[in-house]
Structure 1
């Protein structure tokens, strides 16, 4: 369901309506697992969840083992209401539901990762009419939790991402072109187009020429984004590539996946290695490959 701050979040329920939903928080570095009962009374397809560190003032470089929070978001399609609530590992309890009424939505979250920007989580859902861009739900966590909705910048499903300056962004594909968007400031409503990247220039020659049982072959699409970085994952036919947006460097990844959940952790190098850095006290960031 999600990966953030050194933890991964899973759902453990089988796909049966009479089974209660259960969540599992896994800390791979500490080899620790914690099961969390869900506030939902039964399993449902139309929901998403996020995990995040709850330690005050944490820089999230070494937050394994501390308190955490889980957010659950789902839509009651008939009532046209989206609901969300928060779990605290410190209290072991869920908060009251926060509600947002917005019509013409379909509870299709696709279980792609949420995005954390400042003190808010963002989730992507799809409109039922498919005649207009889908909706991004903002779950404000600071102070009294509240929900609000904003429209996606394009008809493409796309993926949420952070911009280079840490703001809310969006990435979508049109054929072999990758378009990057940035949400304007609170004083300016809407989105601004940052860049359009021709992937035929960056990806290998055979990236879009793989034989497929589909006629024509399926277009490339964004399958994941590493939060807090400028690393994006693009799938093309049966290949998966990791693209560093700032440098333009591309790496072909092993295997193939429609959904990527990057897991990142930070370690401190040994003294003899650290001494080669300026001041000898820099940390090194490692991103685990899936």
Structure 2
């Protein structure tokens, strides 16, 4: 009898797993399926924190978007290999924001509520909107435009593993009265710790603030910024619950689509301005009670983009989003959608152009979901499974193991990594002894697992880039 042993010291193999490329989640998923010990190592919370310490900036896994097109998946990956996350249905939910391990959606139907979704775990939580918003929306004499932002609310959190802690939501809605009644923009702040909305803050202005093409930017822990479709910037100060509206640099006319908000190199508020074949980066400098825009950098796009991408740049070139934590801009051209790493100015094409929309990057280290968190309804324990607490472990049949492996392989080929992990985790529990260290070649299960690894790898036809 030949025995394949995986008796490796935990600290040693964990150091190896930590060094798998974070921008290729398939590598870590393959490794987590080798045995129970490896699967447990990559799914524990401390592993994600160590990824932050080693790699610093997390990768951009993909992005959500605001396109009303059922043919386009709500989540689009930007990783090196095939990758998919089961984002909420775009027919029911409009994506608004993503930050600190959570994505935020607004309902499209009659039910006025927000949906929080954790991309790496699939967990969801619904938050009812303020009653005042629902009442205002029922008036026929007004038009309401809404958006929101989500953020971690834990004191002193470094945001390396905070998606299980308390969070806050800032809900913003602009009310435009028909005729010449002017506009008012209101904000309500939600706390998950109290499960309640605070008192509203508001500001009056002449033109409506519609939030269709841009999401928010969080500066430090005290300032949150939104950009409206007409180019105006809305600032919310958490300390005083104050609202301020101001213009971007060199602001000439509304609806020109040249600007997008971002984080500046010093961590403050920044703005990107598209100028033909150039991208100007501005920083907002605060001097006492005054503030001004300072040009910090110019990026010459003709040196970075491929030939043909800058045909008619005035109408076809646009910055669609900024990835907080990764310092990456998303830019659409006639040649497709590109990312540009601002520190290195490295440009990469990620997909076809999906037209102008609100693009929301998902920035996070991907770690497989801990076993048992996503249950497969097709899996049922055998009749002779132990029924006492702490008693005999459930006996799983060979047929169940084969079925689970087939189900997991099919889902992986479709790109559904999170759902597939639980299928193959159960399968490995059937094939591998409880200690997860020894696989026997003399059994059918051992041969099947060994051949699956050697011939196709746990991810079927996904390339073994590791």
| TM-score, L = length of structure 1 | 0.80
Aligned to 2:97: 2
| Cα shift at 1:198 | 2.0
Contact 2:324 2:363 (8 Å CA) reproduced: no
| Cα shift at 1:21 | 2.1
Aligned residues: 251
Aligned to 1:272: none
| Cα shift at 1:208 | 2.5
Note closer, same or farther for the CA distance 1:200–1:89 as it changes in structure 2 (3 Å cut). Answer: same
| Cα shift at 1:12 | 2.0
Aligned mates of 1:93, 1:55 — CA distance in 2: 16
Q: Does 1:68 align with 2:163?
A: no
Contact 1:223 1:260 (8 Å CA) reproduced: yes
Aligned mates of 1:183, 1:126 — CA distance in 2: 20
| Uncovered stretches (5+) of structure 2, i.e. residues with no partner | 1-95, 368-466
Contact 2:276 2:314 (8 Å CA) reproduced: no
| Uncovered stretches (5+) of structure 1, i.e. residues with no partner | 128-133, 210-214, 269-290
| Cα shift at 1:45 | 5.7
Aligned mates of 1:123, 1:36 — CA distance in 2: 21
Higher strand share: 1
Contact 2:170 2:190 (8 Å CA) reproduced: yes
Largest Rg, 1 or 2: 2
| Cα shift at 1:197 | 1.8
Aligned to 2:316: 219
| Post-superposition CA distance 1:78-109 (Å, at most 9, x none) | 342211011111111111110112x3222211
Aligned mates of 1:64, 1:48 — CA distance in 2: 21
Higher relative contact order (CA 8 A, sep 6+): 2
Contact 2:118 2:124 (8 Å CA) reproduced: yes
Aligned to 1:236: 333
| Post-superposition CA distance 1:110-139 (Å, at most 9, x none) | 252100002111011255xxxxxx421111
Contact 2:97 2:215 (8 Å CA) reproduced: yes
Q: How big is the alpha-carbon RMSD for the aligned residues of Structure 1 and Structure 2? A: 2.2
Aligned to 2:281: 180
Higher helix share: 2
| Cα shift at 1:153 | 1.2
Counterparts of residues 1-290 of structure 1 (less than 5 Å): 1-14=96-109, 19-39=110-130, 40-41=133-134, 42=137, 46-78=145-177, 79-101=182-204, 103-118=205-220, 119-127=222-230, 134-142=231-239, 144-155=240-251, 156-157=256-257, 158-187=259-288, 188-209=290-311, 218-257=315-354, 258=356, 259-266=358-365
Note closer, same or farther for the CA distance 1:238–1:207 as it changes in structure 2 (3 Å cut). Answer: closer
Aligned mates of 2:362, 2:197 — CA distance in 1: 26
Aligned mates of 2:171, 2:263 — CA distance in 1: 21
